[in-house]
Amino acid sequence: MKIGVLALQGDFEEHINMLRRVGVEAVEIRLASQLEAINGLIIPGGESTTIGKLSVEFGLMEPLRSFGHQKAIWGTCAGAIFLSKDARRTQPLLGLMDITVARNAFGRQVDSFEVDLLIPALDTVASSSRPYHAVFIRAPLIETVQGEAKVLSQLEDGRIVAAQQGRWLATSFHPELTSDERFHRYFVEMAK
Ligand code: GLN
- Domain of 27: which CATH number? 3.40.50.880
Atom of ligand 1 nearest to the CA of 51: 10
CA distance 42 to 5: 5
Q: Environment class of residue 50 by beta-carbon count within 10 Å: exposed (0-12), middle (13-18) or buried (19+)?
A: middle
CB atoms within 10 A of CB 40: 24
The mean per-residue pLDDT over the stretch 53-69 comes to 98
Query: What percentage of the chain exceeds 70 in pLDDT?
Result: 98
In one-letter notation, the amino acid at residue 168 is: W
Mean predicted lDDT score pLDDT of the chain: 96
- Which pLDDT band, with edges at 50, 70 and 90, does 109 fall under? low
The mean per-residue pLDDT over the stretch 59-72 comes to 98
CB atoms within 10 A of CB 192: 8
Q: How far is CA 6 from CA 95, 120, 129, 134, in A?
A: 16, 27, 31, 22
- If one counts the domains in the chain, the total is 1
Q: What is the pLDDT of residues 140-173, one digit of tens each?
A: 999 999 999 999 999 999 999 999 999 999 999 9
Confidence (pLDDT) at 134: 97
CA distance 77 to 138: 8
77 lines ligand 1 (CB under 6 A): yes
The mean per-residue pLDDT over the stretch 91-111 comes to 90
Atom of ligand 1 nearest to the CA of 49: 10
* Enzyme catalytic residues: 77, 174, 176
Q: What is the pLDDT of residues 2-51, one digit of tens each?
A: 999 999 999 999 999 999 999 999 999 999 999 999 999 999 999 999 99
Pocket mutation for ligand 1, best pick of 82, 90, 103 (most atoms within 8 Å of C-beta)? 103
Confidence (pLDDT) at 128: 84
Confidence (pLDDT) at 111: 85
75 lines ligand 1 (CB under 6 A): no
53 lines ligand 1 (CB under 6 A): no
Pocket mutation for ligand 1, best pick of 110, 138, 174, 177 (most atoms within 8 Å of C-beta)? 138
pLDDT at 110 over 80: no
Confidence (pLDDT) at 90: 94
Q: Which domain range does residue 174 map to?
A: 2-191
pTM exceeds 0.95 for this model: yes
